[in-house]
Structure 1
């Protein structure tokens, strides 16, 4: 079972499995549309061994989230950057690496603390392990994390409202950053879309606004970045890596990147996978 499956609301086992399979399939369909740019719906149905009706339902959900368009039997990507930034797309990628990184980040969290968690899928991997650090206060803009922790004993959840963005299942905007500014946390744990020239980048300014606000309102700042972040591009600069108290990467990260960052004064922690995900 993946960490994401652990985070789903209490459901019957069969229902939970179906929800997980559907979510994974929709992520794979989004990936296929991104790769192709435009693809026939009947081709998607054949590729994923599903009925045309099921393919339409999945595409309707992806279209509702603003990730693609349906027209005359064809699915077309709206924005590659938006799809790649969506929680649905990101949730199924680098699972073992994200789990290892999250376990390393857990060492920076201590009972009694208040922590910010952003809406990244890497931060999401922390959530199943937070019970070991109770009591805690978790402040987040992620609806997924709010739902996952709503019945967790010993963990107080402060949900940051604002403008809801379906593509990432999170709140952003001025109301969100104002709410963040009204709090002070011990630690913030966040991720990034890309690392370019020793700077963390993101695709959307609203995402950066929220993460910067969390950064400014926390005493200790932890950045999570699996090896793929060093291979990607994004449009908007967020913060230099040297500004964080620690940058946690996985063991697949190129040693040249690690060495360069350490020489520049950045504290880099390499998270090692403890055991294969089941």
Structure 2
């Protein structure tokens, strides 16, 4: 029997929704006053202060006298809590399409992205699947799923990405083999994939090298952002899944490169 959410759960959901609204306002305006936040959200200044304390602890913004400002864009956009709350619908559709590629008994690798994390919601339907990941969120989601054999790489923990990386992580991956690696990227520029964190991109490369086949999941927003370090080219992937909201001009440019991709 499905239990109805408690009042505490309902309040927590409302709190997260309110904080997402705050993030959206700060991201759009870069600086927002406390008065504007209390008026827009129709809550007390005390409630706003509590929300801002939570968001500041996640590295998403900075409180200042009378208001709040966004942290640097790279930190803001790379933060796990922020990424998990963006483009949820598009990520869900990409995840469903990606899971359809998996067969019973497959070994798969999932990177630290919140897009591939969404695949965990649909793995219970696949018998005897092994999941290898460097993501703490993947561990939290799958640790009690009976049909999943879960392998976590370990390594140096990064709370911004909620994932493991470093030499230990890369060495573990290098000793394993999988049928599939499912990855995403922070940014797509032309035909190249980028990520702002060098440690994370080395883990992505290790996953690609340890897998028979590779699949790339991209929301349309990845084509509008910028990151520092190139880690792969689109042509290196066997399957490329992109959300259907991709700009028509960009889609046309990709078609001209003879790349095979699917809009989801």
Using structure 2 for the length normalisation, give the TM-score: 0.88
Change (3 A) 1:74 1:81: same
Deviations 1:121-162 (A, max 9, x none): 211221111011121111122222211111111111112323
Deviation of the 1:265 alpha carbon? 4.0
Unaligned 5+ segments in structure 2 are none
Paired residue secondary structure (1:267): coil
Q: What CA distance in whole angstroms lies between the structure 2 residues aligned with 1:104 and 1:145?
A: 18
Specify whether residues 186 and 21 from structure 1 end up closer, same or farther in structure 2 by C-alpha distance, changes over 3 A only: farther
Matched, 1:248 2:241: yes
Matched, 1:53 2:46: yes
Whether the 8 Å CA contact 2:59–2:79 is kept in 1: the answer is no
* Equivalent residue in structure 1 for 2:192, among 186, 189, 199: 199
2:96 equivalent to 1:99? no
Pair 1:136 & 2:129 matched: yes
Tell me, yes or no, if the aligned pair for 2:126 and 2:147 is still in contact at 8 Å: no
Matched, 1:13 2:28: no
Q: Write the distance in 2 (CA, Å) between the matches of 1:203 and 1:183.
A: 26
Gaps of 5+ in 1: 1-9, 272-278
Correspondence 1:249-268 to 2 at 5 A: 249-268=242-261
Q: Do 1:164 and 1:170's aligned partners in 2 also have CA atoms closer than 8 Å? A: yes
SS in 2 for 1:156: strand
1:146-165 aligned within 5 A: 146-165=139-158
What is the rounded CA distance, in whole Å, between the counterparts of 2:16 and 2:170 in structure 1? 29
CA distance in 1, matches of 2:44, 2:12: 17
Deviation at 1:78, TM superposition (A): 2.2
1:5 corresponds in structure 2 to none
CA contact (8 A) 2:58 2:81 kept: no
TM-score normalized with structure 1 length: 0.84
- Matched length: 262
Structure 1 stretch displaced more, 78-87 or 63-72: 63-72
> Over the residues paired in the alignment, what is the CA RMSD in angstroms?
2.3
Which has the higher mean CA deviation after the structures are superposed, 229-238 or 127-136? 229-238
- RCO (CA 8 Å, sep 6+): is it higher in 1 or 2? 1
Conservation of the 8 A alpha-carbon contact between 1:23 and 1:88: no
Q: Is the 8 A contact 1:28 1:89 kept in 2?
A: no
2:23 is the counterpart of 1:30: yes
What are the Cα deviations for residues 193-247 of structure 1, in whole angstroms up to 9, with x where unaligned?
A: 2211111112222221221121121111100012222222222212100000111
Between stretches 201-210 and 188-197, larger displacement belongs to 201-210
Secondary structure of 1:126's aligned partner: helix
- 3-state SS, counterpart of residue 130 of structure 2: strand
Q: Cα offset for 1:263?
A: 4.3
